[in-house]
Structures are given as structure tokens and as C-alpha cells.
Amino acid sequence: MMPELTNSVGVPRNAAIEHPFGLTLGLPGDAARQLAVLRATLRALEEISQPGSVVHLPFEWDASEKVNIYPPEAPPIARFLRRHPWHIPKFLNQTPPEVSEPRVP
Amino acid sequence: MKGCIIGLMAKIVNSYRFLDGITSRMMKHWVTLGAPRQIPWSPLAKPISQCTVSIVSSAAVALKTDQPFDQEIERRDPWSSDPSYRVLPRATVTADVRVYHMHINTSFAQQDLNCVMPLERLCQLEALGDIAHSAPSHYSYGGYTIRPDALLRDSVPGIIDQLRREQVDAVVLVPV
């Protein structure tokens, strides 16, 4: 879904698709699309012969198909960063605060 | 060769199409954080039509009869999340599961599990002869992993062990 980010962590094979989050295979009930996406993904698995390669699957998302991709409640980290914006650089740089080890009494 | 594009398909996936401006900028920054590393590689040993295939979904899907994913971990400490995983049998259908991912709209997957974990579609491909078998077991974990250590240390080895025991040839990782 985000091939640039996926490839940046070194996955061996990447079948990229331009679908909204939470709808990786397609809309609920759209069995034909889901089947086609899975079949194309498995074909990519066979085709890719170079580590780190990406196949861009040729599925188009209909722009008129409006879907709400957001959860009903903002994720805890989003709410936390709104309240504590000075922590945003830690999130941006993926350097979360260290977890304090339980102290031995 | 990292980033090689196969074929000359017209379609190039836009990684940022469904993100707002702020999240797009953040993701573009995250792309730059990945340190160069050796990319793991296992050649496919046989045609996919002869393979047993398993699915790993990051949607935090659990059987209703199984222990739920612990969303309170993330609510207590928004830098953390439940690092555990759940096993789902090949015949699992939508009515059997709940979806616990807190960063997506789970209502689509709650209507049709195949949106994020296409177990019924994989069984169809088995029936059509595209693959040899859908594996006996499939897996899900919660894909928000700012601190991935516990997931990598405690969960991934268990998944790999079971994949090996069930002689799985190929795994499809489904992000959400």
C-alpha cells in the first residue's frame, strides 16, 4: 500500500497496490476484486527474481468510491502528540522514550 | 538491486494517495530512516501452483473464541502496542473474528474479513488450482509497532516455527 515505506525496511518482494488503508484486497463483498488482487500478488511472488523488487499491481481505485478510512476514535498516539507536541520529533524519528525496567526492590 | 521495478506497467502506485498532508510528510521522512541492510532472500523452490501458502495480516484479527488483542497497552502507553499474535484456521470466516487494529477503520474487515485477510479467496485459489493448498494455519498481529522488539523477540519465532511445522512454501504478508 505504501511501497516506498515497505521497501525502505528491506522486504524481499513487494506487490504494491493503490488501495485505501483497511481495504488492502478491496471493498467488502467484492469477491472478484479480492480474488484478482490475491492472484496478482501470488503471480508477483513468482515473477520477482531480484531481492528488493516491487511489482506495481495495475488496479485502479475508483475516485468516486468515497470511503472513510479513519477509525472512529483517533489512535492514542495521535491524541498524545496533540497534548504533548514536544514529543513529535521522537515520533518522527522513531525514537520513542525508553521503557523503564521494573525496579528490583 | 533494491527498488527494481518489474515490467513496464503503466501503473505506478502512489504511496501517499490516501494520506493527509501531515501524515504524508511524516511517512516520507520515515522512508529516509531505513538504514541500508542486506535484503533477505529465499528463492521460490517450485511453481506457486505446487505451493502451500499462508497469510499473515497486520490487522490484529483474532477469533472470537480466542483472547482479544490488548488495546489497553496502547491506551496506557501510546508508544507501545500488544506484541502478540493469533492463529486463525484456514476455514475462518468473517463471523468468527473480531478486528482490533486501532489505526484503521475496522468496519470494512468486520463486514468482510477478506478485505484484510483473504482466507476465503485463498481457498478459492486452491480450488482453482492456482496454489496447491491454503495452509492449515494463518496469522495476525497488530501492525502499529513503534517498539518492535517484543514482536520480533516473542512472536515472530513462534509464527516461523509453526509455518515450518506445516511445511508452508510461501507467505503473503498483508498490510493494512
Tell me, what's the ipTM?
0.92
Using alpha carbons, select from B136, B143, B130, B144 the residue that is nearest to residue B166.
B136
Q: Which amino acid is it at B97?
A: V
The DSSP annotation for B130-167 comes to: SSSEE-SEEEEEB---SS-HHIIIIIHHHHHHHHHHTT
Q: Which pLDDT score is estimated for B68?
A: 98
Q: Which amino acid is it at B1?
A: M
Q: Could you tell me if B26 lies within 8 Å of chain A, comparing CB atoms?
A: yes
Strand locations in B8-145, DSSP E? Answer: 52-57, 61-63, 85-89, 97-99, 133-134, 137-141
Q: Could you tell me if B150 lies within 8 Å of chain A, comparing CB atoms?
A: no
- Verify whether the Cβ–Cβ distance A34 to B114 is below 8 Å: yes
Distance CA B168, CA B53 (A): 6
CA-nearest residue to A35 within chain B is: B121
Would you place residue A98 in the very low, low, confident or very high pLDDT band (cuts 50, 70, 90)? confident
pLDDT value at A103 more than 50: no
Using alpha carbons, select from B49, B63, B67 the residue that is nearest to residue B130.
B49
Using alpha carbons, select from A16, A1, A32 the residue that is nearest to residue B7.
A16
Longest dimension (CA), chain A: 61
Minimum distance, in Å, between the CA of residue A85 and any CA atom of chain B: 14
- Residue A58: half-sphere exposure toward Cβ, Cα within 13 Å: 6
**Which pTM does this prediction carry?**
0.92
CB < 8 Å to A6, chain B: 175
**pLDDT digits 0-9 by tens, A46-90:** 999 999 999 999 999 998 888 999 999 999 999 999 999 999 999
- Which residue out of B99, B114, B122 would a mutagenesis test of the A interface target, given it has the greatest number of A Cβ atoms within 10 Å? B114
List B residues 92-131 in contact with A (Cβ-Cβ < 8 A): 102-106, 108-109, 111-112, 114-116, 118, 120-122, 124-125, 130-131
Distance CA B60, CA B101 (A): 5
Q: Which pLDDT score is estimated for A105?
A: 44
pLDDT along chain B (176 residues), means of 10: 54 93 92 89 96 98 98 95 97 98 97 98 98 98 92 97 98 98
Minimum distance, in Å, between the CA of residue B106 and any CA atom of chain A: 7
